[in-house]
């Protein structure tokens, strides 16, 4: 999500989410997105907690739902216990960036005489629009876990959790993060198109953490111990998050947590 000051209303253009992200893909990782920077920081503790929560027999199959440019998929490929990582996104442009990113990461891995080689998880990248298709692809079903960060802002909650519930095995876990509704009441995802100078906005929803937890419960997913974490920007965070975060001091901008799908009775 981009948080630059909004231009005049006449220069804002609303596009379908897929089209907006196709155009955003080339600069998504370099346009000073402070919410993504915060998400990356929070995942340093949340991602290991997520892996510890997976109780399925190893090796695992894990789905990156709404993988974008592959930021989290790259994390999955470093985990020895993962047999297959399935990266899904509705934007072909974002998937193309992810494909290049993950290929470069693989090319940069050189064997060491001191470290025994290990198998790299099998990687599958697929275009998947959860709003256009009622069920996830067969390759993503019966997964041990799902990671989905800064995605549900763009999806009605029933549609999102319907897909997650179909992807996960009973007892499987979901790591979910999102823009906080306090921030969503003020702004939403978007970026300035360098070619046209327009502010491009995809479809966005200001979901509250409470609404996310409630809808998850309707689809058989319950919050794990530790609950939902929320983060408010303060002065001490600006240096790490970048200058664009300064205008958000005092605003709660992020929440995240881990959910488990109830086991079949």
pLDDT confidence of residue 51: 98
* 3, part of any domain: no
pLDDT confidence of residue 16: 76
| pLDDT above 50 (res 56) | yes
Distance CA(67)–CA(78), nearest Å, equals 16
Looking at the DSSP bridge assignments, the partners of residue 127 are: 89
Band of residue 7 on the pLDDT scale cut at 50, 70, 90: very low
| pLDDT above 90 (res 108) | no
Q: Assign 3-class secondary structure to 156-180.
A: CHHHHHHHHHHHEEEEEEEEEEEEC
Q: What is the DSSP string of 11-53?
A: GEEE--HHHHHHHHGGGTTTS--HHHHHHHHHHHHHHHHHHHH
Decide if 105 contacts 74 (C-beta within 8 A). Answer: yes
- The pLDDT of 158-177, averaged and rounded, is 98
* 55, part of any domain: yes
Residue 168: exposure state from Cβ atoms within 10 A (0-12, 13-18, ≥19): buried
Instruction: Enumerate helices (H) and strands (E) in the chain, giving the number of each.
Output: 8, 11
* 2, part of any domain: no
> Residues 6 or more apart from 172 whose CB is under 8 A from it?
54, 56, 143, 144, 145, 146, 260, 261
- The pLDDT of 236-240, averaged and rounded, is 97
- The pLDDT of 34-57, averaged and rounded, is 97
pLDDT confidence of residue 24: 81
- The pLDDT of 139-164, averaged and rounded, is 97
Q: What is the mean pLDDT of the chain?
A: 88
Q: For the chain, how many structural domains are there in total? A: 1
pLDDT confidence of residue 112: 43
* 1, part of any domain: no
* 31, part of any domain: yes
Q: Which domain holds residue 42?
A: 9-107+116-261
Distance CA(229)–CA(93), nearest Å, equals 31
* 196, part of any domain: yes
- CATH number for the domain including 13? 3.40.50.150
* 4, part of any domain: no
Least confident of 151-155, 172-176, 199-203, 242-246: 199-203
Decide if 123 contacts 77 (C-beta within 8 A). Answer: yes
pLDDT confidence of residue 17: 82
pTM of the model: 0.88
């Amino acid at each position: 999500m981009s948080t630059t000051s909004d231009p005049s209303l006449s220069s804002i253009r609303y596009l379908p989410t897929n089209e907006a992200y196709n155009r955003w893909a080339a600069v998504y990782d370099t346009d000073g997105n402070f919410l993504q920077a915060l998400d990356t920081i929070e995942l340093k503790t949340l991602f290991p907690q997520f892996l510890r929560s997976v109780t399925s027999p190893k090796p695992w199959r894990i789905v990156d739902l709404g993988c974008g440019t592959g930021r989290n998929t790259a994390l999955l490929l470093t985990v020895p216990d993962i047999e297959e990582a399935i990266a899904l996104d509705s934007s072909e442009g974002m998937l193309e960036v992810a494909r290049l990113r993950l290929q470069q990461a693989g090319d940069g891995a050189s064997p060491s005489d001191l470290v025994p080689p290990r198998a790299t998880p099998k990687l599958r990248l697929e275009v998947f629009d959860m709003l256009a298709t009622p069920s996830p692809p067969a390759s993503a079903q019966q997964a041990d876990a799902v990671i989905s960060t800064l995605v549900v802002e763009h999806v009605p909650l029933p549609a999102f959790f319907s897909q997650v519930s179909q992807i996960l095995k009973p007892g499987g876990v979901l790591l979910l993060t999102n823009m906080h509704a306090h921030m969503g009441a003020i702004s939403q995802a978007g970026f300035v198109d360098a070619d046209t100078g327009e502010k491009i906005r995809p479809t966005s929803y200001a979901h509250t953490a409470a609404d996310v937890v409630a809808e998850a419960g309707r689809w058989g997913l319950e919050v794990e111990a530790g609950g939902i974490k929320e983060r408010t920007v303060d002065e001490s965070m600006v240096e790490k998050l970048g200058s664009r975060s300064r205008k958000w001091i005092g605003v709660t901008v992020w929440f995240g947590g881990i959910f488990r799908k109830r086991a079949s009775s």
